[in-house]
Chains A and B, each alone.
Chain A
Amino acid sequence: MEYFINIGILFCIYAMLALSLNMVVGLSGLVSLAHAAFYGIGAYAVAILMTAQGFNFWGAMCVGMLLNGITAFIVGKILSKFKGDYYAIVSAGLSVIVFSVLLNFKSLTKGPLGIYGIGKPAIAGFHFYSSASFLALAFLFVVLFYALFVLIDKSSFGRALKSLREDEVLTVSLGYKTTKYKSLIFTLSAIMAGVAGSFFASYIAFIDPTSFQLAEGIFFFTMITVGGLSSAFGSVVGAALLLTLPEALRFLGLPYETAAQLQQLIYGALLVLMMAFRPQGLFGKFRV
């Protein structure tokens, strides 16, 4: 049972990441590979502030969100000038920078040693120590993010995003300030990724920089590509599929090394197959 609860928590974290990333990639058509960076900033904010500064979880998470908001706002201003492949490359650059900082700013992040002993959230004296209560809390945030996605999708803000995704020049000619919309959704998505990072750090209790590499960002990208771009439901399905597929491998009784390699193989093959046969993903409404 504990095993399934743990899978459930990981699912919630991935679902938060997928939902937030899909707002940028799906709704707005901006191929961002920077998501791992914001995930990392959120996680490290909680890790550092809770272990070294005596913050509680919520305070640390809010600082992480704020930090992400500021970073994303500044980076978003630069990114908004780019589109298509260039957007992807520049955003990937941010991911590499943040990873290097986490790895090398040892006095703050302890570098490759990582940070351990990260605490759990608490509300009014109730500590979310048990996995089941942690799962419930994480799930609540997934529901919130899901609702936010649907709300934006249906709003006039969402329609502006979808129109700039389809034709930015035409959208500008109708008097939309598209750079503003692009940087706004990028910032919102980064703040949400920070929440996912905070939950991850608290749940795992030990983090090191390897969890926040560019490759992770590409993994999140695979989740929404498989599940479906521009779709809240697709994001959640993608997160569930990519999480449970390799877990299923455990039950085949393969040796650890083989299973790990096979997992990468499956992710890669899945991405290739989806791109070839169903580029909009299972429940997608849009293709890059």
Chain B
Amino acid sequence: MLNLKNIDAGYGKKQVLSNVSAEFKSSAITVVMGPNGAGKSTLLKAAFGLLKPYKGEILFEDLPIKATPQMFVKKGVFMGPQGRRVFQNMTVQENIELATHFWKSRTDFETAFERVLSYFEELKPFLKLPAGNLSGGQQQMVALARIFINKPKMVLLDEPSIGLSPKLINDTFFKIKEMKEKTGTAFVVVEHNLKTLLPLTDFAYILKDGRVVYNGKSEGRILEKMMQAVFE
């Protein structure tokens, strides 16, 4: 669904990605792993149009596009940036409403809101509270609910595990899998190392020094060997 072709990208003179190609498939969970500085976040930023690649092509649903966040949200692709989940001083409901600014009509909001709350029942008691008062795990759910009010086709998440306890990381990934199964939404998740949760995912990429060193199913001996080589 989202294809990157021969991407070179970086910050000013510091090139991070060299000739990276990737294909993120619809209705699947793809995890992008790699050590610090491998270029995982850079890849996600380039894919979402937050960073202009030096060269290369980005295709969405087989058509070449000029990637910008404004264009992607209209096409149903959303991103959760690293370490930022909610607007702390705004209420949970306001947080969710913020993601609907580009809707042409307000009339569907109530039904959409009902629908998203049926996925995230645990948020119901907190709708009028400032999102900053919620726990880290609950904030994660607010971030997902904010994306899912839009019926996304694809969700890009940059290290959703950051700052969460192992139990909450588990909860987050089970929620991601549950959302994929219920709605058919594709996920691209960047994580440092997702060893124990790999069975929840479908495809894996491993990046090292700005290059793709593994790309395929998120299981099997080759992946295991590669993870050992990269992380140990």
Contacts and interface: CB of A to CB of B under 8 A. Distances in A.
Interface of A: 156, 159-160, 162-163, 166-167, 169-177, 286
A219 B164 CA distance: 44
B72 interface: yes
B125 to A, nearest CB: 23
Contacts of B101: 156, 160, 174-176
Contacts of A173: 48, 50, 69, 78-81
B90 A175 contact: no
Contacts of B84: 167, 169-170
B72 A166 contact: no
Nearest to A175: B73
A176 B50 CA distance: 12
Nearest to B88: A166
Interface in B67-90: 69-70, 72-74, 78-81, 84, 87-90
A170 B157 CA distance: 12
Nearest to A164: B87
A5 B192 CA distance: 67
A176 B79 CA distance: 12
A162 B102 contact: no
B98 interface: yes
A169 B48 CA distance: 12
Tell me which of A160, A162, A175 has the highest count of chain B C-beta atoms within 10 A of its own C-beta. Answer: A175
B129 interface: no
Interface string B23-57: 00000000000000000000000001010000000
B169 interface: no
Given A166-B88, A174-B146, A175-B99, 5 more contacts: A171-B98, A173-B50, A173-B78, A173-B80, A175-B69
Contacts of A176: 70, 101
B99 A162 contact: no
B70 A177 contact: yes
The A contact surface, by secondary structure, is: helix
Nearest to A172: B69
B202 interface: no
A205 to B, nearest CB: 45
A163 B87 contact: yes
B209 interface: no
Given A173-B48, A174-B98, A162 B69 contact: no
Contact of A166 (B48, B79, B87): B87
A159 B87 CA distance: 11
B13 to A, nearest CB: 18
Interface string B114-157: 00000000000000000000000000000000100000000000
A243 B195 CA distance: 64
A39 B16 CA distance: 45
Contacts of A174: 69, 73, 78, 98-99, 101, 146
B69 A167 contact: no
A253 B78 CA distance: 66
Contacts of B72: 175
A161 to B, nearest CB: 12
B35 to A, nearest CB: 23
A213 to B, nearest CB: 34
Contacts of A171: 98
A163 B102 contact: no
A167 B86 CA distance: 9
Given A174-B73, A175-B102, A167 B87 contact: yes
A163 B90 contact: yes
B102 A159 contact: no
A166 B87 CA distance: 6
B73 A159 contact: no
13 contacts: A159-B97, A160-B98, A166-B89, A166-B90, A171-B98, A172-B69, A173-B80, A174-B73, A174-B78, A174-B99, A174-B101, A175-B70, A177-B70
